[in-house]
Amino acid sequence: MSGYGSIYIEKGPGGFGGPLVVTPTEKRNKVMYILGEVDKPPCLDRIVELSGMTPVDGYETTVPEEEIALAIVDCGGTLRCGIYPKKRIPTINIMPVGAAGPLANFIVPDIYASAVGPDQIREATPQEVRDIEETRLEKDGAKGSGSGGDSKKGKGLFGKLLGK
């Protein structure tokens, strides 16, 4: 048995999305934070304490996407808030921002919550884990695996960030 615990995350005051349940695994056990305004998100210690995930400062280092269980951003609605939801990685924004910016169509309640602080994070119950995971699997399966016919695949920084 691993030393990981499932966490329940809800949107904060004036926030959007959620609730989210994040369950780290032996392979997917990192919480990546990419912040422009602060060094460390206020909710990080609570997440690490309850989940056992390893924190990773995304500006200092990187890890393979398949190791990221949760992403934390502080984005006012431009690019950062949509990068990880586009890849279906659960994302919390410490700012109260909804579906905005060029990736707004990927910022959906089952994978994103905003205005999140320490008070919006707690241990998840077994029933919450089952319910939210079933919903996510249904939505992921309905989206299919096709990526469309975009012939202009980005190879630069934004292409990599956007998963092209």
pLDDT digits (tens, 9 = 90+) for 99-151: 888 888 999 999 999 999 999 999 999 999 988 777 767 766 655 443 333 33
Over residues 53-71, the mean pLDDT reads 95
On whether residue 157 sits in a domain, the answer given is yes
Is residue 139 assigned to a domain?
Answer: no
Residue 133 maps to a domain? no
pLDDT for 33 equals 95
Residue 122: the pLDDT is 97
Which residues form the domain of 15? 7-124+145-161
**Domain for residue 140, yes or no?**
no
Number of folded domains that form the chain: 1
Does residue 82 sit within a domain? yes
Closest among 59, 67, 74 to 116, alpha carbons compared: 74
Question: Tens digit of pLDDT for each residue in 16-36?
Answer: 999 999 999 999 999 999 988
Kindly state whether residue 131 falls inside one of the protein's structural domains: no
* pLDDT for res 156: 41
Predicted structure pTM score: 0.81
Note whether residue 29 is domain-resident: yes
Residue 65 has pLDDT above 50, yes or no: yes
Cα–Cα distance for residue pair 74/33, rounded to 1 Å: 9
How many residues can be counted in the chain? 164
Among all residues, which ones are annotated catalytic? 75
Query: Is there a domain that residue 105 lies in?
Result: yes
* Among candidate residues 160, 135, 6, 161, the one with its CA nearest the CA of residue 73: 161
CB 163 within 8 A of CB 87: yes
Q: Rounded to the nearest 10 degrees, how much is the dihedral formed by the CA atoms of 57, 155, 136, 29?
A: -30
